[in-house]
Amino acid sequence: MNADLFSNSSSSNSKQRTVLTIYSHADDEVLPAAGTLRLMSLAGWKVRCLILTDGNLSRSSIKGQRHEEAEAAGKIIGAIYEFYALQECNFSTQEVIRVTEAAIQRIQPDLIITHAPQSEKYGHRDHEVCSVAVSNVATRKNIPLWFSAPPVFLRGFEPNFFVDISSVIEDKVAAIGCYESESEKTFMQLDAILVLSRFWARELGQKDGYFEAFEISRHCVDARFFTALASR
């Protein structure tokens, strides 16, 4: 199952691959993963982004706007979005498990990406609940799972998979720029986002380039995985 997860979709074994991201809020997906998702869509993957909440704690003028902004970002990334209306700061693990199970049934993803699990003292409560619930389902269903970098407070995040997004960094910047309603937030500061992308490059001993970092939580391969790697 999913043996050629990292191989090009144009290879002979060419079922179109699907990545499903599950995040709490619109904008959570672009900050850590817009470049990677863009590379995947360019390589022929279907990219599906699921957002659990609708900004019900935002000002009424902003509520709903973030979904429009997400769809604009999706046009740049090459992603299709789905929105749910779970209550921000109040949804349960069980609700997210139900949403995740239904999405998996419908979308049949080859890979899931979600928040890194981080205790509430460092991260957003919604991110933690989402991460735990999605991990529960991905583990039970044996679906490859990656955690993306938290937007701030990297404590507890242990990246072990890095994606060179230098060729699509402008798309990432443009996707982030779609979230005008969030532009004043500290974690949306573009210079800091770019610095983090460069920081990951340095972590890899590279002088140049922009990277996104992930922690592979779950992966399962068979012989085709090594065949695909050998032909690179």
Of 73 and 228, nearer to Zn ion (C-beta) is 73
Please, what is the minimum distance in Å from the beta carbon of residue 232 to Zn ion? 35
Of 114 and 217, nearer to Zn ion (C-beta) is 114
The answer to the question of residue 66 lying near Zn ion (CB under 5 A) is: no
The answer to the question of residue 28 lying near Zn ion (CB under 5 A) is: yes
Of 25 and 38, nearer to Zn ion (C-beta) is 25
Q: According to CB under 5 A, which one of 7, 21, 24, 36 is a site residue for Zn ion?
A: 24
Q: Pick the stretch among 19-27, 90-98, 139-147, 187-195 that binds Zn ion (CB under 5 A).
A: 19-27
Please, what is the minimum distance in Å from the beta carbon of residue 17 to Zn ion? 26
Asked if residues 109 and 48 have their Cβ atoms less than 8 Å apart, the reply is yes
Of 106 and 155, nearer to Zn ion (C-beta) is 155
The answer to the question of residue 25 lying near Zn ion (CB under 5 A) is: yes
Query: Which parts of this chain interact with Zn ion (CB under 5 A)?
Result: 24-25, 28
